[in-house]
Structure 1
Amino acid sequence: MKTKEVLYLKIARSIEDQIQADSLKLGDKIPSVRSAQKLYNVSLNTIKQAYLELESRSLIEARPKNGYYVSKSAQRKLDLPSVTKIKASSREQSPQDLVDKVFGAIANKDVTQFALGIPGQNFLPVAKLNKGIINAVRERNDGGTLYEPVQGNEQLRHEIAKWTLVLSGKITEEDLVITSGTMNAIFNALMAVTKPGDGVAVESPVYFGILQAIQVLGLRAVEVPTHPVYGVDLDALKKVLPGIAACCFVTNFNNPMGFLMPEDNKKALVELITQYNVPLIEDDLYGNLYFGGERPKPCKFYDEAGLVIWCASVSKSMAPGYRVGWVAPGQFKERIIRQKIAQTVCTPSLYSDVIAHFLRYGRFDHHLRNFRNKLFANYLQIQRAIEDYFPDNTKVSQPKGGFMLWLELDKRICTEDLYDQAWVRKMNFAPGRMFTQHNQYNNCMRLNYAMEWTDRVENDLKILGKLVKNSI
């Protein structure tokens, strides 16, 4: 098995080198799977693995019934963002004021919403969801008025467990607890494994919602340097593990940087937290929104000790307002259930029924295929727009899925000031300071590209790029 892994990666690297050297250019067709099999004299499965690897890294793309081609995203002109060195003496500067300011714009429909991680209305199966609610009311004798089991809707837990093929049967319906979205799952997980004053390791930059949860619970966020491709620095993490109570990471299509932590790094991460007996709260909210050929595994797949608390939902992929999420708490299941009794008793039944039906009849998979295609097309569009309209020294992430783009601008730029200029022109974005507790990332921003791509969106990015250039 190990030899096969090395071989397919070697073939993938060979093709990548040809792309980087311009031997294979944008739009070039690469050999078919069967032609490549003969060319490299390997098994068909090895070539498929190599192409999946290249596809997951957005270097090549499959065109239905037409083969594989070099993807536009392979032709990068801009550098990747820097890895920030976290200074212990760096003064804390809560981003709450900035978070409140940005969230205050959520309801303004006249503004181009680059700021918040919410998919556009045209990305969601609204009509089918509405029919699902009607059917759920008809099928229920109680009309959805009675309590669900505290652990959550049995049908939904069953369908989630059956649907999570990526976990290869390691999750059953008894392992799951239904929650009010992913953040509710993360909040409960933090409550279950920490006490006030404890330290929690987070990526840096870190999703501001995680920072808020840590602050509300009276915990300490310990930011760990994070690479825009490989994820959290495991050597740096190892140094802080003895002094913390938990880790909270987004390993699949990270928010805000978009990276997909390599499988070997996930395995090493799970081995590390197991060695130190430190729980890992895994936010896998974006795991289904991959650009490659298959869904990446969560860290939970490699967990044998029950230390990984896997959190996910349909909030980013299908129905943000339904607030249907779940957690596989491992050895902390009973604590999570007791907390849920104290907080909400149960979750709304009708929405759980609708999501369960979507999973059972394959509607969710069908929706996800269309959603991912739109996301990838938008990613190519926004990457091109950044290259065309922003300064040449702009550094930009290379997401493998999800819908977040992280930009690092010239050090002379303050994105908080830039936000005010953009707001006057009826657009917004998430300034970098929202994603840290320290005085850093002031020249960074996060952009959401899960929206209908229109001439206005294109023009707004052009205006934003001009504002950046004028600020230098």
Structure 2
Amino acid sequence: MKKESLYLKIAKVMEEQIASKTLKLGDKLPSIRTVQKLYNVSLTTVKQAYLELESKSLIEPRAKSGYFVSKASMRKFPLPSVTALKTSAQTKDPEDLISKVFNTLTNDQITQFSLGVPDKSLLPIAKLNKGVISVVQRLADGGTSYEPVQGNLNLRRSIAKWSYVLEGTLTEDDIVTTSGAMNAIFNCLMAVTKPGDTVAIESPVYFGILQIIKSLGLKAIEIPTHPITGVDLEAIKKVLPRLNACCFISNFSNPLGCMMPEEHKKELVRMLTEYDIPLIEDDLYGNLFFGATRPKPCKAFDEAGIVMWCGSVSKTLAPGYRVGWVAPGKYKEKIIRQKLLQTISTPTLYQEVIADFLEHGRYDHHLRTIRSKLYTNCLKYQGAIEAYFPHNTKISQPQGGFMLWLELDQKIDTAELYDRALQQNISYAPGRVFSQYNQYNNCMRLNFALGWNTKLENDLKRLGKIVKAAI
């Protein structure tokens, strides 16, 4: 048997044992060495089998204790559907619906399941405030001078040190700072496309990316995306000759929460390198993993410099600081010229605060804390949805990040349902905003990076009642 089929065979046996309750919730799995001897295979094969089970959230690692059957393995609801590839359907951007959702953001009375940022209770605000005071006192000009166009040296150096998933291949000279990840993506698209060009994106896709593409006069091809393994590589192959660029969230996409397996990332980079197609990789959720290790970005497999790796601290640390970056590969000079035209430089103060936070271990500690809370929240949300929503609800199984994607009964239009939910001070993101086409009308995205409490559970219960009443 091939090595690949061996690890999948081992994983399938264990998956069946979990499904049949032979392995129950909380049970410890046999050690990697035990399974190696049992099947007479290599340690690598067993590790791949366990990674396969972990990617499906069936098992979870515990430090120095081994692997255990996870709570997520007990889920009742199936995964959302994968849509077909569309290349000729009429497009219509749901801008009015997006505006309606965003207009609620300043209302403290509304439970913001619609927001794409973590709740302030999950952020180290006091420590960041101390950092601001310290930086202002330390800087001779108080942060009032222009930075170099490429960005703050301390921040670029800290990001390069932090990019350990790239196995030390990045230096501070490879990085350009930006005003958040969206600004990085905008600059990247400006640098490598011209009006009329075609860009491949996920489907469903974060609506901000759709809006950027439209504003630049570009055409988008939505690639079918699996809720666990991400974009369909075969679908990309079909449209490769037509593409001028790709823009994907490889780790914990928004809104599905899926993660491309490492082999898929390698193959995607290989395919795009062959055609010299730039890949704009949005990796701002990469540090919010639920597994044992941070997944590598596509940039880790980029030898030709075609991957433009974008990140920020907006989803983990300080959304309002607007501190982001890009490692643009061979397009660096184009990005620097773009930045000079648009912003001249990014503000010194917040870049220094974030650099200091990254440098002295506080970020690592904070990430461990927030990841634990997010994973717990994810399980609680899934449990509440299984308890309070209709039985034919489909729900995503994110392996990181903080987005849940729900697919409801075909009769339901979540855009119409939104007004009813808002009357009860509940806001969510209707599925229609995550596509340029008239689809995902029976879907919604929920943010689970909120402080869990009785009120939040009751709000999910009320939202479930609203959905049930619409069937």
TM-score category of the 2 structures, normalised to the smaller one: over 0.9
Specify the alignment match of 1:303 in structure 2. Answer: 302
* Identity level (%): 64
SS in 1 for 2:296: coil
- Does the C-alpha gap of structure 1 residues 4 and 178 become closer, same or farther in structure 2, counting only changes over 3 Å? farther
Distance 2:356 2:45 in 1: 36
Distance 1:337 1:177 in 2: 7
Specify the alignment match of 1:319 in structure 2. Answer: 318
SS in 2 for 1:327: strand
Q: Please report how far the alpha carbon of residue 229 of structure 1 lies from its aligned counterpart in structure 2 after TM superposition.
A: 1.7
Specify the alignment match of 1:227 in structure 2. Answer: 226
- Does the C-alpha gap of structure 1 residues 379 and 352 become closer, same or farther in structure 2, counting only changes over 3 Å? same
SS in 2 for 1:304: coil
The answer to whether 1:152 aligns with 2:157 is no
Equivalent positions of 1:323-402 (< 5 A) are 323-402=322-401
Specify the alignment match of 1:212 in structure 2. Answer: 211
Q: Please report how far the alpha carbon of residue 13 of structure 1 lies from its aligned counterpart in structure 2 after TM superposition.
A: 3.9
What TM-score does the superposition give when structure 1 sets the normalisation length?
0.95
Distance 2:295 2:146 in 1: 35
- Does the C-alpha gap of structure 1 residues 325 and 253 become closer, same or farther in structure 2, counting only changes over 3 Å? same
Distance 1:292 1:470 in 2: 37
- Does the C-alpha gap of structure 1 residues 129 and 56 become closer, same or farther in structure 2, counting only changes over 3 Å? farther
The CA RMSD measured in Å over matched residues stands at 2.0
Q: Please report how far the alpha carbon of residue 44 of structure 1 lies from its aligned counterpart in structure 2 after TM superposition.
A: 6.5
Distance 2:229 2:337 in 1: 36
SS in 2 for 1:405: strand
Specify the alignment match of 1:249 in structure 2. Answer: 248
Specify the alignment match of 1:76 in structure 2. Answer: 75
Q: Please report how far the alpha carbon of residue 244 of structure 1 lies from its aligned counterpart in structure 2 after TM superposition.
A: 2.2
Specify the alignment match of 2:451 in structure 1. Answer: 452
Q: Please report how far the alpha carbon of residue 14 of structure 1 lies from its aligned counterpart in structure 2 after TM superposition.
A: 3.4
Count how many residue pairs are aligned between Structure 1 and Structure 2.
471
Segments of 4+ in structure 1 off by > 3 A?
2-14, 31-57, 62-68, 86-89
Distance 2:322 2:3 in 1: 42
CA contact (8 A) 1:379 1:449 kept: yes
Q: Please report how far the alpha carbon of residue 76 of structure 1 lies from its aligned counterpart in structure 2 after TM superposition.
A: 2.3
Q: Please report how far the alpha carbon of residue 130 of structure 1 lies from its aligned counterpart in structure 2 after TM superposition.
A: 0.5
Equivalent positions of 1:55-74 (< 5 A) are 55-63=54-62, 67-74=66-73
Deviations 1:167-212 (A, max 9, x none): 0112111110000000000000000000011111111111100001
- Does the C-alpha gap of structure 1 residues 247 and 388 become closer, same or farther in structure 2, counting only changes over 3 Å? same
Distance 2:238 2:464 in 1: 40
User: One-letter code of the match for 2:110?
Assistant: V
Deviations 1:25-46 (A, max 9, x none): 2222333556556655667676
Specify the alignment match of 1:110 in structure 2. Answer: 109
User: One-letter code of the match for 2:386?
Assistant: E
Specify the alignment match of 1:421 in structure 2. Answer: 420
SS in 1 for 2:201: strand
Specify the alignment match of 1:433 in structure 2. Answer: 432
- Does the C-alpha gap of structure 1 residues 31 and 88 become closer, same or farther in structure 2, counting only changes over 3 Å? closer
Distance 1:113 1:129 in 2: 24
- Does the C-alpha gap of structure 1 residues 301 and 423 become closer, same or farther in structure 2, counting only changes over 3 Å? same
Q: Which stretch of structure 1 is more off in the superposition, 60-69 or 146-155? A: 60-69
Give ranges in structure 2 of 5+ residues lacking alignment.
none
Distance 1:414 1:257 in 2: 19
Deviations 1:107-164 (A, max 9, x none): 1111111002110111101011011111111211111111111101111111111111
SS in 2 for 1:391: coil
Q: Please report how far the alpha carbon of residue 47 of structure 1 lies from its aligned counterpart in structure 2 after TM superposition.
A: 5.4
